[in-house]
A and B are shown apart, each in its own frame.
Chain A
Amino acid sequence: MKAVCTLLFMLLAGVIFNLGLGTAEISYGEIIKMLFNFSPNAFTEHEAIIFLIRMPRIILAVLVGGALGTAGCVMQGLYRNPMADPSIIGISSGATLGAVSAIFFSLPGLYTQPFLAVTGGVLVAFLVLRLAVRQDKIQMMTLLLAGIAVSTFLSAVTSLMLSFCYEYQLKQFLFWTIGGLDGANWHHIHLIIVPIISGVIFLCFYACELNLLNLGEEEAQSLGLNPTKTRSRLLIAASLVTALAVSVSGTIGFVGLIIPHILRLLVGSDHRLLLPVSALGGSVFLLYADLIARTVFPLGEIRVGIVTALIGAPYFLYLLLQNRKGGLNF
Chain B
Amino acid sequence: EILHSLVDKKRILALTYLAPDSGISNIAGSLAGIDNFIKADPERISDLKPDLVITSAFINPEAVAVLQKLGIPVVMYPLSDKLSEIYQNIRLIAKAVGEEARGEQMIKAMQNEIKQQPKKDIACLYYSLDGVVSGSGTQFDELLHLAGFTNAAAGISGRKSIDREKLIELNPDIIFVPVWYVNKETREGEGLVSSLLHDPALAGVRAIKNKRVYPLTDKHIICSSQYITEGWRDLLRFSKPTEGRKSE
> A299, B160: Cβ atoms under 8 Å?
yes
* Contact between B165 and A22, CB atoms less than 8 A apart: yes
Interface size class of B (residues with CB under 8 A): 20 to 34
A23 to B170 alpha-carbon distance, docked (Å): 12
B164-178 vs A: 1/0 string, CB under 8 Å?
111011010000000
Alpha-carbon distance A171/B162, docked complex (angstroms): 15
Asked if B204 and A48 sit within 8 Å, CB to CB, the answer is yes
Contact indicator B168/A182 (Cβ below 8 Å): no
> B117 in the interface, Cβ–Cβ < 8 Å?
no
Min CB distance, B132 to chain A, in Å?
Answer: 9
Q: Does chain B have a CB within 8 A of A17?
A: no
Q: Quick check: B180 and A52 within 8 Å, CB to CB?
A: no
Q: Beyond A23-B162, A53-B165, A300-B163, is A45–B201 a contact (Cβ under 8 Å)?
A: no
Chain A 20-55, CB-CB to B under 8 Å as 1, else 0, gives 001110000000000000000001110011001100
Q: Does A264 contact B (CB under 8 A)?
A: no
What 6 pairs between A and B have smallest CB-CB spacing? Answer: A300-B161, A52-B201, A23-B165, A168-B190, A24-B165, A23-B166
- A185 on interface, CB distance cutoff 8 Å: yes
Instruction: Determine the chain B residues whose CB is within 8 A of the CB of A299 once the complex forms.
Output: 156, 160-163, 166
Binary interface encoding of chain B residues 124-168 relative to chain A, with 1 for a CB under 8 A from any of its CBs, else 0? 000001110000000000000000000000001000111111101
Distance (Å) between the CB of A190 and the closest chain B CB? Answer: 13
* Complex interface: chain B residues within 8 A of A45 (CB): 168-169, 171, 204
In the bound complex, how far is the Cα of B166 from the Cα of A49, in angstroms? Answer: 10
Given contacts A24-B169, A171-B129, A299-B166, contact A49 B201 (CB under 8 A): yes
CB distance from B239 to the nearest CB of A (A): 27
A 98-150 contacts with B by CB, 8 A = none
B62 cross-chain contacts in A, Cβ below 8 A: none
The distance from the CB of A160 to the nearest CB of chain B, in whole angstroms, is 19
**Does B192 touch A at the CB level, under 8 Å?**
yes
A301 at the interface (CB under 8 A from B): yes
A selection of 23 A-B contacts at a CB cut-off of 8 Å is A23-B163, A24-B165, A24-B166, A24-B168, A43-B204, A45-B204, A48-B168, A48-B203, A48-B204, A49-B164, A49-B168, A49-B201, A53-B164, A166-B180, A168-B179, A168-B191, A168-B192, A182-B163, A185-B201, A299-B162, A299-B163, A300-B160, A300-B163
Interface residues of B, Cβ cutoff 8 Å to A:
23-24, 129-131, 156, 160-166, 168-169, 171, 179-181, 190-192, 199-204
From the candidates A23, A53, A300, name the one contacting B201 in the complex (CB within 8 A): A53
User: Does B199 lie within 8 Å of A185, measured CB to CB?
Assistant: yes
Chain B residues lying within 8 Å of A24, measured Cβ to Cβ, are: 165-166, 168-169
Shortest beta-carbon distance from A293 to chain B in Å: 10
In the complex the two chains form, is B200's CB within 8 Å of A52's CB?
Answer: yes
| Partner pick for A48 among B130, B163, B201, CB 8 A cutoff | B201
Given contacts A168-B129, A300-B131, A300-B163, 19 further A-B contacts (CB under 8 A): A24-B165, A44-B204, A45-B169, A48-B168, A48-B202, A48-B204, A49-B165, A53-B165, A166-B181, A166-B190, A167-B23, A168-B191, A171-B129, A171-B130, A182-B163, A185-B199, A299-B156, A299-B163, A299-B166
A contact residues around B162 at 8 Å (CB): 23, 299-300
Closest to A302 in B: B161
**Taking the complex as formed, is A294 at the interface, i.e. its CB lies under 8 A from any CB of chain B?**
yes
For residue A152, CB closer than 8 A to chain B, the reply is: no
Question: Which residue of A has the minimal Cβ distance to B171?
Answer: A45
The chain B residue sitting closest to A53, CB to CB, is: B201
Enumerate chain B residues within 8 angstroms of A294, measured Cβ to Cβ: 163
B192 contacts across to A, CB distance below 8 A: 168
Closest residue to A294 on the B side, CB-wise?
Answer: B163
Residue A172 at the chain B interface, CB threshold 8 Å: yes
How far does the Cβ of A167 sit from chain B's closest Cβ, in whole Å? 6
For A49, the chain B residues whose CB sits under 8 A away are: 164-165, 168, 201
Asked whether A43 and B156 contact (CB < 8 A) given A168-B180, A299-B161, A299-B166, the answer is no
- Chain A residues with Cβ under 8 A from B129's Cβ? 168, 171-172
User: Which A residues are CB-close (under 8 A) to B180?
Assistant: 166-168
Which residues of chain B are within 8 angstroms of A171 by Cβ–Cβ distance? Answer: 129-130
Once the chains are docked, how many angstroms separate the CA of A157 from the CA of B169?
41
> Is A43 within 8 A of B203, CB to CB?
yes
B24 to chain A: which residues have CB within 8 Å? 167
Interface-central residue, B23, B24, B156, B168, by most chain A CB under 10 Å: B168
Docked pose: A296 CA to B157 CA in angstroms: 18
When distances are taken between beta carbons in the complex, the residues of chain A under 8 Å from B190 are: 166, 168
Residues of B within 8 A of A23 (CB): 162-163, 165-166, 169
Min CB gap B203→A, angstroms: 7
